[in-house]
Amino acid sequence: MRYTDINLDDKTILITGGAGFIGSSLAFYFQNNHPKTKVVVLDSFRSGETLSNGNLKSFGHFKNLIGFSGEVISGDINDKDLLLDLEVNYKFDYIFHEAAISDTTALEQDLMIKTNVNAYKDLLHLAIKHSANMIYASSAATYGNAPSPQRVGCEDPANVYGFSKLSMDHLSRQYMRECDIKIVGLRYFNVYGPREYFKNSTASMVLQFGHQLLSGKNPRLFDGSDKILRDFIYIEDIIQANIKAMEPKESGIYNVGTGKARSFQDIVDILQRELGTELKCEYIPNPYIGSYQFHTEADIEETKKALGYEPRFEMEDAIKDYVSEIRRIYETEVKK
């Protein structure tokens, strides 16, 4: 579905983190809906390099871009020479900044701040030089344990990732006051959908439960999972919000969720119905009590007003749309 009437013919768009889950989805949105737009994907791509928690430093994967016909650049947003090259040799009209150290369990505070905050400032300078509107990924992690519904202005980050995203938001507000370009921060809640598989263990529980069921394993849930609620949002609505943020009524920082909290038990029940399985759920003690969010729900009223955003996918519709891809990934990636 096309989400804007803006004429993007002959416009040039930079997508950082463009080989990741959301970045690659944006790249294909433009390719499919605005074929005369030039799209440049920048990603550090994955290597064997890991963080101290054992997770990969970069989740970018070439398979997320198979079929993409735009320009692909392998590079790190911390590389000043790369950013200078982008400034001198390109002229961007819009920048979608999705690149980040996005692992909420990462302990490297130095790398998190350097990559998520300092490099973002450099990209803002690039946007200003090019008079390019900036749309960037903030996060619901900025709220930490703040009570639901989570509202912009009520932040309490519980980890360095959430802190880094809140720092990006503070920096953005400063630049909103000082420059002419439009800057929009989008606080994503729990995103799921096609192209997330290569996030490995940080992929959504929708995908992980789906693959458990397809392998014939009983789904394992924490005790009381019918009362553990999250604002789960389908990738299509994330794309909608990003596109509508290209020419907003005003700069700002906005929640992107459904405004409805759903349970992990809901996920399993819907998946079982769509996959045709009837496996018994196994319930285990929750080892994260005390450091675990039991309820998230985005207040999206300002997002609706400022961006014209309206979530289109209920969880039942989203999982029904997603289930064929869950099956395909299971057959081509998990079973092999």
pLDDT at 108 over 80: yes
Using the structure block, give the residue that is written with the tokens 């609505």: 237
The per-residue pLDDT for range 157-207, each reduced to its tens digit, is 999 999 999 999 999 999 999 999 999 999 999 999 999 999 999 999 999
**Who's near 32: CB < 8 A, 6+ residues apart?**
none
199 in active site: yes
What does the domain layout of the chain look like in residue ranges? 12-329
**CATH classification of 12-329, choosing from 3.30.930.10, 3.40.50.2020, 3.40.50.300, 3.40.50.720?**
3.40.50.720
Closest to 93 in 3D by CA, of 134, 123, 59: 134
* Interatomic CA distance for residues 242 and 244, integer angstroms: 5
pLDDT of 292 reads 66
pLDDT of the residue at 290: 66
Looking at residue 326, its pLDDT comes to: 98
| Portion of the chain with pLDDT greater than 90, in percent | 91
Q: Is 90 annotated in the active site?
A: no
3-class SS string, the chain: CCCCCCCCCCCEEEEECCCCHHHHHHHHHHHHHCCCCEEEEEECCCCCCECCCCCECCCCCHHHHCCCCCEEEECCCCCHHHHHHHHHHCCCCEEEECCCCCCCCCCCHHHHHHHHHHHHHHHHHHHHHHCCEEEEEEEHHHHCCCCCCECCCCCCCCCHHHHHHHHHHHHHHHHHHHCCCCEEEEEECEEECCCCHHHHHHCCHHHHHHHHHHCCCCCEEECCHHHCEECEEEHHHHHHHHHHCCCCCCCEEEEECCCCCEEHHHHHHHHHHHHCCCCCCEEECCCCCCCCCCECCECCHHHHHHHCCCCCCCHHHHHHHHHHHHHHHHHHHHCC
pLDDT of res. 53 = 87
Asked if the model's pLDDT at residue 336 lies above 80, the reply is no
Identify the bridge partners of residue 22 per DSSP, sorted by sequence position.
none
Indicate if the pLDDT at residue 9 is higher than 80: yes
Query: Using 50, 70 and 90 to split pLDDT, how confident is the model at 66?
Result: very high
Top-confidence residue, 336 or 1: 1
Residue 171 or residue 50, greater confidence? 171
Instruction: Pick the catalytic residue from 161, 188, 197, 234.
Output: 161
Q: Provide the pLDDT confidence category of residue 250 given band limits of 50, 70 and 90.
A: very high
pLDDT value, residue 288: 75
Catalytic residue among 3, 199, 244, 309: 199
Using a pLDDT cut of 70, give the percent of the chain over it. 99
Contacts of 58 (CB under 8 A, 6+ apart): 43, 44, 45, 46, 47, 49
Cβ-Cβ contacts under 8 Å for 291 (sequence gap 6 or more): 158
Q: Residue range 28-32: average pLDDT? A: 98
Per-residue pLDDT, 293:
76
- Bridge pairing between strands 262-263 and 229-230: antiparallel
Confidence tier at 291 by pLDDT (50, 70, 90): low
Q: What is the residue-averaged pLDDT of the chain?
A: 96
